[in-house]
Amino acid sequence: MDHQNETLFKTFLESTHNGLVLKVESLSFLIFAAGDDYLQMTGLHRDDIVGKDIADLPFSLFHPSTRLVLAGVLQHKQKATLTPYFLMPAGDRHRVYVSVTISPVLNDGGEVAFLIYTVIDIDTYMRKAEEKVNRNYFMQLIDQAPVGICILRGKELVVESANNMMLELLDKSAAILNLPLRIALPELEDQPFLKLLDDVYTWGEPLVGNESKVLLVRNSKLETAYFNFVYQPLKDGRGVTTGIMMVAAEVTALVRVKQQLEESVANFKSVVMNAHYALLVVKGKDWMVEIANQPMLNLWDKNKEEVLGRPLMKILPELVGQPFPEHLRRVTDSGKSYAINEEVFYYNTPAGIKKKYVSFFYDPILDSEGNVKGVIVGAEDITNSVETRLKIERAEEMLRIAIESANLGTWHYDPASKRLTVSPRLKELFGYKPNEEMNYNSVMAQVTEEYRYMLLKAIQSSVSQGEHFNLEFSIKGNFDKKLRWMRATGRIYRDNEGVPIRFSGILMEITEHKLDEIRKNDFIAMVSHELKTPLTSLKAYVQLLGFKAKQSGDMFTINSLTKVEGQVNKMNNMIRSFLDLSRLEAGKLNLEKERFPIDKLVMEVVDEVLLTDKSHQILYTACKPLEVYADREKIGQVINNLLSNAIKYSAPGTKVKLGCELKSGMVQVWVSDEGVGISRKDSEKLFSRFYRVENTPLKTVSGFGIGLYLSAEIIQRHNGNIWVESEEGKGSTFYFNLPDEEP
């Protein structure tokens, strides 16, 4: 080769060839030319190496068997390739994975004159080759992938490519290509993904994310989406990360369904947990307790730890032999709900076996195929209401026994339908046979005439005013027509709106008692009558003697006889009271009404009382002339009684005042004292027969407890009212009034 050709050849080699051209001289391989790429790869300089033997070059640039192969090529005059190895350049350059080929160049004599030492960077070579072959196919595949795929390049994560799905998921156009990710998707700025990608890039480790929440601008607004993703680092031949492949699949709908499911499970749980009635969810064959709310724990007297996640029969072994496992089994087997209203539930406690009354329902929990997965048990502790009911039942039973043993009759009357329901005993009392019908009208017809109106009025006022009803009356037996005395008591029962629904009570026979009373009354009447005649003549003689004494001027006798007359009057009043009482009881107290001035009557009574009593200051407020139409004698009796009581029940020397006036069209008389007074409790009963206040200051005061009873009866028969206003220890004022009736 002439010099010119040699220079041309060298220059060509140097610019195109990646390797060395070795000149073979005897046993040495002198460097004839070195390619630019090779120098670049190894960091050597041309001037330093040309003309030198390759054995002078750094060992690390060569495969350990290079020399051997060179010798082989020389001998066999054939091309050889070394197994790939890592070429270690000098300085801080990257090692390069290379393949070396050595080809012989023969001279005219057929001897090896040159060796072409070619170095191939496998990574670059492969990539280029692969890129050529695969790129189209791969991109096609990626584009059609049902998941979003994109390639991010460099530390800046420039969006190199993104398939359709990825653009769709991000709601972006191809305009984001070639933009760094943080600019393509500015909304990622405050989210963890850029940092995660950066970590993947730095550490070269892939990252997998599941159902990660991402905020993305889609449809021009920030939306929450959920993704499963993989960040796969892309590395070059030297293992250096040069990019990231991001694969993402949207799972928002799935997550939402899951969330809804979780929500509805949570809702269900919270409904169960917050329910006022006891709820329990058991699952599986051994009825494992999945949920038990507080009321259920209370019912069992257990705490959460003892119950949750444990089989029911282990929690409550005492259920064996009780009906509940049977109910549960029935629901599990049939898949049908079941409910029981009242069941006794026995349970163990440290203090022994206890008992509760419970109402239950059992509902199966079915899966989508209709198989029973578990059971919801609802329970209500009805112990209190059942015990109350049992108590009422016991009380009713006792009442029934009491009524039966006291031989009482019972009755119910419905005011709306006028239907009367009576017990067999009541029928018997009215003289009916057990199978005979008895109605309201027939009962009323049996009541004797003098009481019929009273009974009707009492029933009416009880119904309209809700008063208790307590009345004695006589009836005629249905068959025997015998007179019997009855006492009926009862009351009205109303519904929540106050409408009377039932009027009921009891009836007892008091004939014996009543006949006794009548006999007693007759006796009192007879005695009073017998006493009255001698007393009348006694009074006449006293008056005669008094008249005589006045003539003779014997003062002592006059005074004595005045006192005697007063006492006779008192006795007379007493006897008259007894007579009136017996007349009243027998219904024979008749009024003889006349028109008279009541102011005069008051004065007369005062004068009469003054005859015997000088111990008190009796202050009479003179009335204006006032006329009434009434029984003069009986009204006088009433005033006398009130005045005598005022004196009797107050200390000597105190004041007793009385007066009369016209008030609201009624004539009103009042008597007030400064005596012992009357308690509220007593003042209600004061006007009843034989009632006397029982307390120490009054023990010594004599009386029969009939004065006020008679007074009240007399005033009521005049259609007037009598009442008392009193304060204990301070005194009382008794009032009565009479209507201004025309004769």
**Residues engaged in binding ligand ADP (CB under 6 A):** 641, 645-646, 649, 673, 675-676, 678, 686, 691-693, 698, 703-709, 732
Residue 696 beta carbon to ligand ADP: minimum distance, rounded to whole angstroms: 12
SS (H, E, C) 472-533: EEEEECCCCCCEEEEEEEEEEEECCCCCEEEEEEEEEECHHHHHHHHHHHHHHHHHHHHHHH
CB of 699 to ligand ADP, least distance (A): 10
Measured from the CB atom, the residue of 487 and 689 that comes closer to ligand ADP is 689
Nearer to ligand ADP, 505 or 677 (CB): 677
Smallest gap, in angstroms, from Cβ of residue 682 to ligand ADP? 7
- Helix and strand numbers (H, E) in the chain are 23, 28
Please, what is the minimum distance in Å from the beta carbon of residue 503 to ligand ADP?
A: 34
In DSSP terms, which residues pair with 333 in a beta bridge? none
Q: Which is nearer to ligand ADP, 285 or 680 (CB)?
A: 680
Q: How far is Cα 23 from Cα 104, in angstroms, rounded to an integer?
A: 10
CA dist., res. 611 & res. 709, Å (int): 25
Minimum distance of ligand ADP from residue 408's CB (angstroms)? 32
Name the phi and psi angles at 494, rounded to 5: -115, 160
Tokens of 329: 């089994």
In the complex, what is the shortest distance from the CB of residue 467 to ligand ADP, in angstroms, rounded to a whole number?
Answer: 24
What is the closest distance, in whole angstroms, from the C-beta atom of residue 599 to ligand ADP in the complex?
22
What is the closest distance, in whole angstroms, from the C-beta atom of residue 622 to ligand ADP in the complex?
22
Residue type at position 331: V
Q: How far is the CB of 613 from ligand ADP (least distance, A)?
A: 14
Residue 242 has phi, psi (to 5 degrees) of -120, -10
For the chain, how many residues are written?
A: 743
3-state secondary structure of 594: strand
d(CA 194, CA 196): 5
C-alpha triplet 712, 715, 717: angle, nearest 5°: 105
In the complex with ligand ADP, the residue whose CB is nearer, 45 or 730, is 730
CB of 404 to ligand ADP, least distance (A): 39
CB 117 within 8 A of CB 104: no
Where are the strands (E) in 63-205, listed by range?
A: 80-81, 85-87, 96-106, 112-121, 148-153, 158-162
C-beta of 302 vs 689, nearer to ligand ADP? 689
Residue 470 identity (one-letter amino acid): N
We find the least distance from the C-beta atom of residue 388 to ligand ADP, in angstroms, to be 44
Residue whose CB is nearest to ligand ADP in the complex, by number: 703
Question: CB of 704: closest distance to ligand ADP in angstroms?
Answer: 5
Nearest distance from residue 688's CB to ligand ADP, in Å?
9
Q: Which three-class secondary structure state does DSSP give residue 430?
A: coil
Report whether 491 contacts 469 (CB < 8 A).
yes
Distances (CA, A) of 704 to 235, 636, 645: 127, 19, 12
What is the spatial distance between Cα 707 and Cα 574, in angstroms, rounded to a whole number? 9
Instruction: Name which of 296 and 678 has its Cβ closer to ligand ADP.
Output: 678
CA distance 648 to 645: 5
Judged by beta carbon, residue 287 or residue 709, the one nearer ligand ADP is 709
Q: Which two tokens stand for residue 733?
A: 């004022």
User: What residues have CB less than 8 Å from 601, skipping those under 6 apart?
Assistant: 632, 635, 636, 639
SS3 state at 448: coil
- Distance between CA atoms of 247 and 253, rounded to whole angstroms? 18
Write the single-letter amino acid at 230. V
Instruction: State how far the Cα of 616 lies from the Cα of 614, in Å rounded to an integer.
Output: 6
Closer to ligand ADP by CB, 354 or 730: give it: 730
- Report how far residue 483's alpha carbon sits from residue 474's, in angstroms, rounded to the nearest whole number: 7
Q: Give me the least distance between CB of 522 and ligand ADP, in Å please.
A: 22
Kind of pairing between the strands at 372-381 and 409-414: unpaired
In degrees, to the nearest 5, what angle opens at C-alpha 53 toward C-alphas 51 and 55? 150
Q: How far is the CB of 720 from ligand ADP (least distance, A)?
A: 17
Nearer to ligand ADP, 476 or 692 (CB): 692
Comparison of 232 and 644: residue with beta carbon closer to ligand ADP: 644
Question: Helix H segments across 50-171?
Answer: 66-76, 122-144, 164-170
Residue 451 or 709 having the CB closest to ligand ADP: 709
Question: Residue 402: CB partners within 8 Å, gap ≥ 6?
Answer: none
Token code pair at residue 651: 């200390």
Smallest gap from Cβ 725 to ligand ADP, in A, equals 11
CB of 655 to ligand ADP, least distance (A): 13
Taking Cα atoms as reference points, which of 422, 455, 452 lies closest to residue 438?
Answer: 422
- Between CA 630 and CA 737 the distance in angstroms is 11
- Give the nearest distance from C-beta 726 to ligand ADP in angstroms: 7
CA dihedral 568, 569, 573, 575 (to 10 degrees): 20
Give me the amino acid identity at 432. Y
User: Among residues 125 and 691, whose Cβ is nearest to ligand ADP?
Assistant: 691
Report CA-CA distances (Å) from 572 to 69, 533, 575, 724: 170, 10, 5, 26
116 or 643, CB closer to ligand ADP? 643
Cα gap 187→570, rounded to integer Å: 117
